[in-house]
């Protein structure tokens, strides 16, 4: 949880600063790409706030109304991020880029005087985007390090497997947002430079539209990832198989009748099983065996927060 919070805070600081700089560059140049990137950074900044709210809310202790805790709050707020990213940053960027393609808007080639030095206003956008790439790289490295830590802890072999298996949607969201932010800044930079060099507005305008499509695609992918967890996805099949084997091979267990798992939070797995024990065992022995089984499950994966072993007669 602490790792996720530090990742989000790093992204919040980076995106907040970048949003102000991008908006200033847009006011000076009128570049469609810079406006798309402004939408992008403002949306990202708001998204980090929602993710922090989710982290804080999910830390509440279980209650009568929520006996398995509030961990799914992070799934909900991350889903909300995807909706806002799609609706605000993605759609507005695409719409503005499309309008620029039709009507020929691009970065204005005006001059700016600062500290007695006069220079092309387009260079403001270039400097801001290079700064954005530097800030976003910092946030991306933080998110990547946390994702790598989880990969090592849970034995995921690559990023694709991590994306499919992780329940830490906060880190997943921050990591993907930072990657998209780097891509968007690079696309905007190429579009603005090509328009300045060639004098053709289409490069700047198309870059704005491409950024919008990129954001909308990410938003849909993020929404899909959160949907599976909001609906109560089980633990990954290999992990489930390990849990089942731990129970089945425990001394005194005859066989496992029913077995279920579910993520009830980013770092919380519920394990429930109906287990047939040897007929010779008395009640006290069964109680002790159940306690030992639960300890073994938690030793296998520290995300096991709730374990319910029901003895079958």
Strands 253-265 and 117-120, by their bridges, are unpaired
**Tens digits of residue pLDDT in 146-191:** 888 888 888 888 888 888 778 887 788 778 888 888 898 999 999 9
CA 13 to chain centre: 16
Contacts of residue 212, Cβ cutoff 8 Å, sequence gap at least 6: 36, 89, 90, 91, 92, 93, 94, 95, 96, 97
Q: What is the pLDDT of residue 210?
A: 92
Which of 263, 261, 264, 247 shows the shortest CA–CA distance to 311?
247
Alpha-helical (H) ranges within the chain are 2-29, 32-58, 73-84, 91-103, 122-154, 159-165, 169-198, 202-230, 237-248, 283-300
Which of 78, 38, 29, 23 shows the shortest CA–CA distance to 181?
38
Q: Rounded distance, CA 311 to CA 313, Å?
A: 7
Taking the CA of residue 132 as centre, how many other CA atoms within 13 Å lie in the half-sphere pointing to its CB?
A: 34
Q: What is the pLDDT of residue 286?
A: 86
Identify the structural domains of the chain with CATH numbers, from first to last: 2-230 (1.20.1510.10), 237-312 (3.30.70.1350)
Q: What is the pLDDT of residue 259?
A: 94
Collapsing DSSP to helix, strand or coil, 69 comes out as: coil
Strands 268-277 and 253-265, by their bridges, are antiparallel
Collapsing DSSP to helix, strand or coil, 228 comes out as: helix
Q: What is the pLDDT of residue 111?
A: 54
CB 100 within 8 A of CB 204: yes
Helices 122-154, 2-29: inter-axial angle, 10-degree rounding: 170
Q: What is the pLDDT of residue 275?
A: 93
CB 288 within 8 A of CB 295: no
Taking the CA of residue 250 as centre, how many other CA atoms within 13 Å lie in the half-sphere pointing to its CB?
A: 26
Q: Rounded distance, CA 21 to CA 36, Å?
A: 13
Measured torsion, CA atoms of residues 228, 149, 62, 50, in degrees rounded to the nearest 10? -70
Full-model pTM: 0.77
Q: Is 110 exposed, middle or buried (0-12, 13-18, 19+ CB in 10 A)?
A: exposed
**Tens digits of residue pLDDT in 235-259:** 888 899 999 999 999 998 888 989 9
Tokens 């491409």 sit at which residue?
Answer: 210
Which of 60, 44, 49 shows the shortest CA–CA distance to 5?
49
Mean pLDDT per 10-residue segment, the chain (313 residues): 68 82 84 84 82 83 86 85 75 85 64 57 83 85 86 84 80 82 90 87 89 86 84 89 94 90 90 90 84 93 91 77
Q: What is the pLDDT of residue 272?
A: 94
Mean pLDDT, the chain, integer? 83
Which of 207, 216, 46 shows the shortest CA–CA distance to 129?
207
């Amino acid at each position: 949880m602490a790792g996720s919070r530090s990742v989000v805070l790093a992204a919040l600081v980076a995106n907040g600063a970048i949003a102000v700089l991008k908006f200033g560059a847009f006011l000076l140049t009128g570049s469609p790409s810079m406006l798309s990137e402004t939408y992008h950074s403002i949306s990202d900044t708001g998204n980090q706030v929602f993710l922090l709210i989710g982290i804080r809310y999910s830390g509440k202790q279980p209650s009568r109304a929520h006996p398995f805790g509030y961990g799914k709050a992070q799934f909900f707020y991350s889903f909300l991020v995807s909706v806002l990213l799609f609706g605000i940053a993605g759609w507005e960027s695409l719409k503005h880029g499309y309008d620029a393609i039709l009507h020929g808007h691009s970065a204005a080639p005006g001059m700016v005087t600062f500290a007695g030095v006069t220079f092309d206003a387009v260079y403001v956008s270039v400097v801001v985007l290079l700064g954005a790439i530097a800030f976003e790289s910092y946030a991306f490295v933080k998110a990547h390090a946390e994702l790598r830590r989880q990969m090592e802890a849970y034995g995921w072999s690559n990023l694709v497997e991590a994306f499919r298996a992780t329940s830490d949607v906060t880190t997943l969201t921050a990591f993907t947002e930072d990657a998209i932010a780097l891509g968007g800044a690079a696309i905007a930079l190429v579009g603005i430079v090509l328009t300045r060099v060639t004098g053709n507005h289409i490069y700047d305008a198309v870059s704005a539209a491409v950024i919008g499509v990129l954001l909308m695609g990410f938003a849909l992918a993020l929404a899909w990832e959160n949907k599976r967890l909001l609906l109560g996805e089980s633990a990954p099949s290999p992990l489930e198989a390990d849990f089942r084997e731990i129970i089945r091979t425990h001394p005194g267990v005859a066989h496992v009748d029913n077995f279920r798992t579910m993520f009830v939070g980013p770092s919380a797995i519920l394990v429930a099983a109906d287990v047939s024990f040897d007929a010779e065992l008395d009640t006290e022995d069964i109680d002790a065996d159940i306690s030992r089984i639960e300890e073994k499950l938690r030793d296998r994966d520290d995300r096991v927060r709730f374990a319910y072993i029901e003895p079958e007669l």
